[in-house]
Amino acid sequence: MRADAAPIIAVDDVRKHFVGRRQRAGLLGALRDLARSERTLVRAVDGVSFRIAAGEVVGYLGPNGAGKSTTLKMLTGLLVPTSGTVVVDGRVPWRERKAYVAGIGAVFGQRSTLWWDLPVIESLELLRHMYRVPAERFTANLADFRALLDLDAFLSTPVRSLSLGQRMRADLAAALLHEPRILFLDEPTIGLDVVAKERIRDFIRHINQARGTTVVLTTHDLSDVQRLCERVMIIDHGKLLYDGRLAVLQERFGGRRALVVDLEDDAAGGAGGPVDAGGVEAAGLEVEGAELVERDGLRLTYKFRRDEVSASALIGRLSAALRIRDLEVREPDIEATVRRIYEERLLEGEGAERT
Amino acid sequence: MVHSLRLYRRLIGMEVRAQLQYRASFLLDMATSVLIVAIEFGTVAMVFGRFESLGGWRLEEVALLYGMAAMGFRTMDLLFSGFDPSDFGERIRLGQFDQVLLRPASATLQVLGSRFHLRRLGGAFQGVLIFALAVWIGDIAWTPAKAALVPVVLLSQIAFFGALFVAGATVTFWTVQSIEAVNILTYGGNELINYPMHIYQLWLRRFFTFVVPAVFINYAPALYILDKADPLGLPPWSRFLAPVVGAGMLALAAAFWRVGIRRYQSTGT
């Protein structure tokens, strides 16, 4: 982000505390709760700060209960923080609600924004009036979205009859008809099949590139993040653990890349079968810079670190020693990476990483 | 302002078109609505078959109370469908109020425009019939002032009960589910004003005079229209307090509603 560009979203030391009632277990506990319930302080968001520049696509990740939805609600004006400041596009979201929401689009994956019993097009028409979109802009945008999202198939269908994928597309069109500068998405691809997910992602990417719309999306699907987001923020227990590029996250915690080699014939001798990382059976299969972790007949799996040896160097060394029929380089699994970060608390205690 | 009115009309239009999608259900509901009011009044009429009068009031005089209350309450029920506490509470529970706050229009306008149960017109229409019956059978000495008072009374009732609906809906910001106590005031209140107030016990009359001033929105104006003496000892100008009571209640309810929205934005639910 250029130092001179003012961020479109500025969040400073935002906290959101809820007074929760601790529910005690069992029938006796429930009865006790009726009489006198214990109050607990839930720190849903506990000192989060970040800046987002116009035109960025940012992923916001975290396990369930981490504070993602709460943060999103504060960014969209639905919740007022306990402390801290939020300024989006020059406004404080909850203070100038009507003026503010006229300039943003929001899609919450679980709930539709459209009128349930009426055809999609009627919802879009009404929203046009609500957002005061000039007729020509509306027609132009609608034509654009009809092409990109293939809306014609169901524009006249009542929302209640739509499939989840169609409803998601309709919700996206509805959220963008008034050309907002910022789009907030809460789990936009949840529950969708692979083809539908791709379509949604392509559309979001197009909107960002063609119109410069800033996109903030929360998701559990890391492919969403991989496909769409240059930058990712990870939140857990109300604190921001990481704020930077996904590739860097991968490099630091990503585990090793894999090189899977299919041999021409039983070049090294021996019957084959899986082999432990520690128990390589025959010399000639080892190579400098990588570890042979598995042998399954003619298929060998080596693990190596990006910063220790490049894929091409490794391939060169192996080709010199073995007769290779085919090979494949596999990137570490992002899901596994992030899961490890949550479970092993790899980022805690470091403060938010900025890269 | 014009934009808001147009938007309200459009929102209502969406609701009506949605209801008409389910034509059979709509017609049945409408018929039921008419029947309910008719049957309720029918039972009152039957009581009169047994007793000559109710607290000194003849059937056609009670019918005046009944008709006006039905017109007022049922019309309110239609206009304020969006604030119906049990429905609103359910929407709060399902998190659907967020959608209202995410749109660039007044939250109040959106809630008002979110429901418009046409079937409730059936009950209002039935009220018109009962009122017509009261006028036809009874021997009311009509004056221009009295004739002008009727629509004023109806508007006041709409405001009065609308205020109770709004307040009942606002409570669900705290309780999530609507509370029974609200029904006692709304539906119970509607029942209450169907009959001449002097038949009630003192504590009940006091409550509905000083706490929830329902006595001024039907009974007091009816006294004026029927040229009856006031057994309760209220000052004569109290017969024209209906609009003041209605407007006052609505203003209070609106203030409470705004508090409710602020609370929702600070706690989520």
User: What's the pLDDT score for residue A278?
Assistant: 38
Q: Which residues contact A241 (CB under 8 A, 6 or more apart)?
A: A234, A235, A341, A347, A348, A350, A352, A353
Q: Is B104 on the interface with A (CB under 8 A)?
A: yes
Q: Are B112 and B82 in contact (CB under 8 A)?
A: yes
The stretches of chain A forming alpha helices (DSSP H) are: 26-35, 68-75, 97-101, 120-130, 135-149, 164-176, 194-211, 222-228, 246-253, 311-321, 334-343
Report the alpha-carbon distance of residue A148 to residue A132 in Å, rounded: 23
- Of A251, A278, A303, the residue that ends a domain is A251
Residue A116 within a domain: yes
Residue A97 with chain B: CB contacts under 8 Å:
101
Encode pLDDT of A176-203 as tens digits. Answer: 999 999 999 999 988 898 889 999 999 9
Among candidates A191, A193, A147, which has minimal Cα distance to A173? A147
Say how many CB pairs under 8 Å bridge A and B: 64
Encode pLDDT of B84-122 as tens digits. Answer: 999 999 999 988 999 999 999 999 999 999 999 998 888
CA dihedral sign of residues B161, B165, B167, B168: positive
- Find the closest chain A residue to B109 by CA distance: A130
Q: Which residues contact B152 (CB under 8 A, 6 or more apart)?
A: B242, B243
Phi/psi for A24 (5° steps) reads -85, 150
Q: Which domain holds residue A134?
A: 9-251
Ramachandran region, residue A315 (left: φ > 0; alpha: ψ -120 to 50; beta: rest): alpha
Residue matched to tokens 């309910």? B36
Residues A95 and A123 in one domain: yes
Pairing between strand A290-296 and A299-304?
A: antiparallel
Q: Are B162 and B82 in contact (CB under 8 A)?
A: no
Residues A232 and A268 in one domain: no
Beta bridge partners of A85: A12
User: What's the pLDDT score for residue A271?
Assistant: 42
Residues A209 and A142 in one domain: yes
In this complex, do B106 and A108 lie within 8 Å of one another by their Cβ atoms? no
Q: Which of B23, B90, B101 best tests the A interface by mutation, with the highest count of A CBs <10 A?
A: B101
Query: Whole-model pTM above 0.90?
Result: no
Residues A193 and A64 in one domain: yes
Encode pLDDT of B122-148 as tens digits. Answer: 889 999 999 999 999 988 999 999 999
What tokens does B148 get?
Answer: 């002008």
User: What's the pLDDT score for residue A118?
Assistant: 95
Q: Binning pLDDT at 50, 70 and 90, where does residue B265 land?
A: very high
Phi/psi for A258 (5° steps) reads -120, 145
User: What's the pLDDT score for residue A275?
Assistant: 43
In this complex, do B21 and A116 lie within 8 Å of one another by their Cβ atoms? no
Residues A163 and A289 in one domain: no
Q: Which residues contact A319 (CB under 8 A, 6 or more apart)?
A: none
Residue B21 with chain A: CB contacts under 8 Å:
117-118, 158
What tokens does B9 get?
Answer: 């009309």
H or E stretch including B81? none
In this complex, do A130 and B18 lie within 8 Å of one another by their Cβ atoms? no
Residues A140 and A263 in one domain: no
Residue A71 within a domain: yes
Report the alpha-carbon distance of residue B237 to residue B160 in Å, rounded: 19
Residue B105 with chain A: CB contacts under 8 Å:
98, 130
CATH number at residue A20: 3.40.50.300
Residue A346 within a domain: no
In this complex, do A117 and B18 lie within 8 Å of one another by their Cβ atoms? yes
Q: What string of DSSP letters covers A167-199? A: HHHHHHHHHHTT--SEEEEESTTTT--HHHHHH
The angle subtended at Cα A166 by Cα A164 and Cα A167, nearest 5°, is 65
Task: Let me know if A273 is exposed, middle or buried by CB neighbors in 10 A (0-12, 13-18, 19+).
Answer: exposed
Q: Is B105 on the interface with A (CB under 8 A)?
A: yes
Among candidates B105, B100, B1, B110, which has minimal Cα distance to A132? B105
Report the alpha-carbon distance of residue A210 to residue A175 in Å, rounded: 16
Residues A94 and A226 in one domain: yes
Q: Are A48 and A238 in contact (CB under 8 A)?
A: yes
Q: Is B101 on the interface with A (CB under 8 A)?
A: yes
Residues A234 and A297 in one domain: no
User: What's the pLDDT score for residue B51?
Assistant: 79
Residue A238 within a domain: yes
Q: Which residues contact B204 (CB under 8 A, 6 or more apart)?
A: none
In this complex, do A126 and B11 lie within 8 Å of one another by their Cβ atoms? yes
**Number of structural domains chain A divides into:** 2
- Of A205, A226, A251, the residue that ends a domain is A251
Phi/psi for B95 (5° steps) reads 75, 20
Report the alpha-carbon distance of residue A127 to residue A114 in Å, rounded: 9
Residue A325 within a domain: yes
Q: Binning pLDDT at 50, 70 and 90, where does residue B269 land?
A: low
Q: What string of DSSP letters covers A87-139? A: EETTB-TTTTHHHHHTTEEEEETTS--S-TTSBHHHHHHHHHHHTT--HHHHH
Q: Is the pLDDT of residue B239 over 70?
A: yes
Residues A240 and A121 in one domain: yes
In this complex, do A130 and B99 lie within 8 Å of one another by their Cβ atoms? no
* Helix, strand, coil share of chain A (percent; to 5): 35, 30, 35
Report the share of chain B in percent with pLDDT over 90: 70
Residue A296 within a domain: yes
Residue A177 within a domain: yes
Count other C-beta atoms under 10 Å from residue A57's C-beta.
Answer: 24
Query: What number is the ipTM of this complex?
Result: 0.88
H or E stretch including A271? none
Q: What string of DSSP letters covers B95-137? A: TTHHHHHTSSS-HHHHHHTT---GGGHHHHHHHHHHHHHHHHH
CA dihedral sign of residues A210, A212, A217, A219: positive
- Find the closest chain A residue to B95 by CA distance: A111
- Of A216, A251, A286, the residue that ends a domain is A251
A78, A79, A98 member nearest B104 (Cβ): A98
Residue A340 within a domain: no
Q: Which domain holds residue B232?
A: 2-267
Q: Strand, helix or coil at A244?
A: strand
Question: Which regions in chain A score pLDDT beneath 70?
Answer: 1-4, 21-24, 37, 266-284, 334, 347-355
Q: Which residues contact A20 (CB under 8 A, 6 or more apart)?
A: A39, A40, A41, A42
Residue B11 with chain A: CB contacts under 8 Å:
126
In this complex, do A99 and B105 lie within 8 Å of one another by their Cβ atoms? no
Residue B266 with chain A: CB contacts under 8 Å:
79-80
Encode pLDDT of B142-200 as tens digits. Answer: 999 999 999 999 999 999 999 999 999 999 999 888 788 899 999 999 999 999 999 99
**Number of structural domains chain B divides into:** 1
- Find the closest chain B residue to A122 by CA distance: B14
User: What's the pLDDT score for residue A279?
Assistant: 37
Residue matched to tokens 């894929």? A311
Pairing between strand A324-330 and A257-263?
A: antiparallel
Q: In what order do the strands lie in the sheet with A9-22?
A: A38-52, A9-22, A83-88
Residue A98 with chain B: CB contacts under 8 Å:
104-106
Q: Are A187 and A219 in contact (CB under 8 A)?
A: yes
H or E stretch including A61? strand A57-61
